[in-house]
Amino acid sequence: MTRRHEILAAAAEVFAQHGFRGSTTRRIAEAAGVNEVTIFRQFGSKEALLREAMVHMTDSAGLVVLPEIPSDPERELTEWSESFIQHLRLRSSIIRKTMGEIEERPEMSECASSVPTEASNELCKYLVALRRQGRTAEKFDPKTAAAMLMGAIFADAMGRGMMPDVYPQPKDKAAHMYTVLLLRALGVEIGSRRTTNKQAKRTKQLSA
Partner DNA sequence: TGTGTAAGCAAGTAACTACTTGCATTTGGG
Partner DNA sequence: CCCAAATGCAAGTAGTTACTTGCTTACACA
How many CB atoms lie under 10 A from the CB of residue 138?
11
Among 14, 176, 154, CA closest to 82: 176
Among 3, 171, 184, 201, binds DNA (CB under 7 A): 3
CA distances 193 to 61, 69, 70, 199, 207, Å, are 29, 12, 9, 10, 21
Among 47, 141, 172, 189, binds a second copy (CB under 8 A): 141
Among 100, 102, 124, CA closest to 111: 102
Among 9, 30, 46, 89, binds DNA (CB under 7 A): 46
CB 92, min distance to DNA, A: 23
Residue 40 lies near a second copy (rule: CB under 8 A)? no
191 binds, among a second copy, DNA, none (CB under 5 to 8 A by kind): none
CA distances 54 to 24, 35, 152, 206, Å, are 16, 21, 25, 44
Binding residues for a second copy restricted to 174-193, rule: CB under 8 A: 174, 177-178, 181-182, 184-187
Q: Which is nearer to DNA, 14 or 94 (CB)?
A: 14
Q: Site for DNA (CB under 7 A): how many residues?
A: 20
CA distances 90 to 5, 7, 146, 200, Å, are 20, 20, 21, 38
Residue 110 lies near a second copy (rule: CB under 8 A)? yes
* Residue 195 DSSP one-character state: -
Binding residues for DNA restricted to 103-122, rule: CB under 7 A: none
Residue 25 lies near DNA (rule: CB under 7 A)? yes
3-state secondary structure of 120: helix
Among 23, 78, 98, 179, binds DNA (CB under 7 A): 23
- Positions touching DNA (CB under 7 A) are 3-4, 23-27, 33-38, 40-42, 44-47
